[in-house]
Amino acid sequence: MESLAIHLPEVSAAPVLLTAVLVFAILYRHRRNARGNPKGFPNPPGPKPLPLIGNLLDIPRTDESSTYQDLAKQYGDLVYLSTMGTSILLVSSFKTAGDLFERRSTNYSDRFQSPMSHDLMGWDFSFAHMVYGDRWKKHRRVFHHQFQPSIAPSYYPIQTREAHGLLRRFLRSPDTLDYNLRQNAASLVMKVTYGIQIADTNDAYVAIAGKALEGAAMATSPGAFLVDFIPFLKHVPEWVPRASFKRRAREWRDAVTHMRNDPFNTVVNEMKSGTAPPSFVSNLLSDMESKGNVTEEDANLIKNCAALVYAASAESTVSTLSTFVLAMLTYPDIQARAQKELDSVVGRDRLPEFSDRDSLPYLSAILKEVLRWNPVAPLGLPHVVSHDDVYNGYYIPAGTIVIGNAWGIFNDETIYPDPRRFNPDRFMGEGDKGLQHLSPMDPLSAAFGYGRRACPGRYMGESQVWISIASILSVFDIKPALDEMGRPIHVTPEFSKTGMICHPVPFKYAMKPRDNAARLLIEQTELN
């Protein structure tokens, strides 16, 4: 396990001075935290901390979710780590997650203000990362207004068109899975959010957002950068030998700034010329203008929420759909069963529609199992405890970073027997009608976050994935690719669980129309 200690020399221009400052900071924060611990209540169990550095060596920088799951197997569903005055609590059971994030949500809804992502990279605009308070509530209210369950069906027409566009991409370029999915996700989110039609290749908006999200995925995981544990390191000049995190943060900050500003400014200019199509941004700006002048605060609020739509949806859609393709490739019997259900309900002379959804329970079960088998954000965004708490006889100090380990929850054999097997039948019981009926008390809800910080765009996101997988299975067969000798290439499912978003490790596959009728159906979507 690679540890943070390996990277400690990156910021060392004067080792002796740095060591002295580190020791002082660690001792000060340790004494400050120790004073608040009530007598008789121990911290939750966890690996024994070392002198001065605590559990620094126990915090992984790669494959975090699996490492944390191993700790849970050793210490239980609550695992406590502490390093340099920072406390981290790992939650690896759905019951405990519900007790803390749902039933004690007023105390477990804050966010860690990462010096790397907030101060250096410019993600302080994101209400997903904001502290729990009035500013966060204003942003959430605007976001929820446009993406609440009752509004979600209004996006069905554009989601259907984009699903058909994805079919055409696979027909033209069946081997470029990642590129096709990224272009498709970007096309949808840019249309919905800004009314912007992206270019088929080398789109500037997509490129800059990709750069911004690359940094976000790396910086969100606790332990990725030492500056999150020793905040004064953010003041180290970029020219200091081996202070590479400052250069990377500057590059990512430039991308974040452009991602937030450029498409928003395009909409504003189009509204001035009367050419702006309806979108999340133009609708909100028009609504505010009808009530009076749009203040700078109003504009920034809309700009912030719009940028988060892209950040929250594009990468997660790519991860979910690539996991779906991998599942169908490695479990052909499940693919065949889903196609049989589609053929019996939809037939072979048209493509699936959202109105077919309630009649396709096995397809909905496949989507649920995709989310469980490879959760998009296996560790989610960490919560922070606002006030000292005692849970099950354990003391949890204020300021503790609390991580809901969705990967661990979804691999809990007591809830999901044989968890590494892709098995949609586990969701075919009575009452399992689809994600639109998923309650916060269902363990699968962990795929969307917890409590008051659960993903507010989940309804639009899961509907886009559903229509995409229904459309793909109705007209394509997903089969093994062939090697130079014409032999099927065996694929073993593997996932890259480093950073915020979990993707399948790249794999070979073949995707071909099921027959000529299916090819014609795909080609005819160009005319619609």
Annotated binding site: 455
Q: Torsions phi, psi of 430, nearest 5?
A: -60, 130
d(CA 391, CA 381) in angstroms, rounded, equals: 21
Alpha helices per DSSP H over 35-155? 64-75, 94-97, 134-147
Please give the angle made by the CA atoms of 126, 401 and 388, to the nearest 5 degrees: 115
Sheet architecture: strand order including 401-404: 78-83, 86-91, 401-404, 383-384, 110-111
Annotated binding site for heme: 455
Are 449 and 128 contacting, i.e. CB atoms less than 8 angstroms apart?
no
The one-character DSSP state at 89 is E
Q: How long is the chain?
A: 528
Where does residue 45 fall: left (phi above 0), alpha (psi -120 to 50 degrees), or beta otherwise? beta
- Compute, in degrees rounded to 10, the torsion defined by CA atoms 309, 312, 314, 315: 170
The 10 Å Cβ neighbour count of residue 409 is 28
Q: What is the DSSP string of 239-304?
A: TSTT-HHHHHHHHHHHHHHHHHHHHHHHHHHHHHHT-PPS-HHHHHHHHHHHTS---HHHHHHHHH
- Please measure the distance between the N-terminal and C-terminal CA atoms of the chain and give it in whole angstroms: 52
CA distance 102 to 84: 29
| Residue 201 near residue 99 (C-beta atoms within 8 A) | no
Q: How far is CA 236 from CA 3, 12, 247, 422, 472, in A?
A: 21, 10, 11, 47, 50
Q: Name all contacts of 113-119 with Cβ < 8 Å and 24+ positions apart.
A: 114/219, 114/220, 114/228, 115/227, 115/228, 115/231, 115/233, 115/234, 116/219, 116/224, 116/225, 116/227, 116/228, 116/234, 116/245, 116/249, 117/215, 117/216, 117/219, 117/220, 119/234
Cα dist. 121→133, 246, 478 in Å? 22, 9, 40
Q: Strand 110-111 relative to strand 383-384: parallel, antiparallel, unpaired? A: antiparallel
Distance CA 404, CA 414 (A): 18
Looking at residue 2, the DSSP 8-state letter turns out to be -
